[in-house]
Amino acid sequence: MAILLDGKALAFEIKAELKARVDKLTASGRSVGLAAVLVGNNSASEAYVNNKAIFSEEIGVYSEIVRVSAKSSTMGLIAVLLALNDRPDITGIIVQSPLPKSIDEREVSEAVLPHKDVDGFHPQNMGRLVLGRPGFVPCTPAAILEILNRYGHSPAGKHCVIVGRGNIVGKPLAIMLSEKSLGNATVTVCHSATRDLSHHTRQADILIAATGRSLLIKGDMVREGVVVIDVGINRIEDKSSPKGYRLVGDVDFDSVEKKAEAITPVPGGVGPMTVAMLLSNTVKAAERARK
């Protein structure tokens, strides 16, 4: 039976650590604020933003949800972000994805000041990550490393296989895992053009699935004793559920869990820790501004 890598429990621990840092900042007269920009009326985005607001308030961080019409133009959204850049009470800014197709995500990501980009998506922060220089790193890759290290599964010297090469998880995670000061691991990145995916996944000491394809990784695709991080959150039909669906990951939990040494659940694994890392970046932004 695999050990469950409980992200929800870890996030609770980190919440207490962050609250102590926020209390120190506020005692010295320094504000800590997170602005979450929500474009349109996507119900999933609404839920994510509300979770971030609740976490913020629990550790004493001022939280503000800025709502923008789905009909807004790229320049209209950028104008909102420029106004937030100028506010000293806001130390961190995020723009909740997905955005309407009419909005240029690249331009939007560049509009947030790098020192307020707590999502870690600004080209300057991405460039710093590649060069191994200090900056804000994307929250989900940071959450994965935090889970591994806090549960005693340091990636150093191990073979980490990432399934997925997206800009939000796969690419930055590959850099972080291979960086000597962060992961110091040997990294293989698999994707839609990879031949014989199972061959590669069976070589992994640590396997990270981040494809958005439900139940892609089966039990026969992993070796005994693997550590599995499941980033996926997918809805599949389930008539027995009151909602008519249930959430599953990119990993077939039931078959993989029998062979794994440790595995993250979905939900309750990477998701809560991603929110914790977002708030960690927000607090860090306030600490850096103070200096």
Q: Which residues are catalytic?
A: 52, 96, 119
Rounded CA-CA distance 16/260 in Å is: 30
Q: What are phi and psi of 49, to 5 degrees?
A: -65, -40
* DSSP run (H or E) holding 58: helix 43-58
288 contacts: CB under 8 Å, gap ≥ 6: 115
Q: Confirm if 207 and 201 have CB atoms less than 8 A apart.
A: yes
CB atoms within 10 A of CB 88: 9
Q: What are phi and psi of 228, to 5 degrees?
A: -120, 130
- CA 165 to chain centroid: 14
Residue with tokens 């106004």: 83
Kind of pairing, strands 234-237 and 245-248?
antiparallel
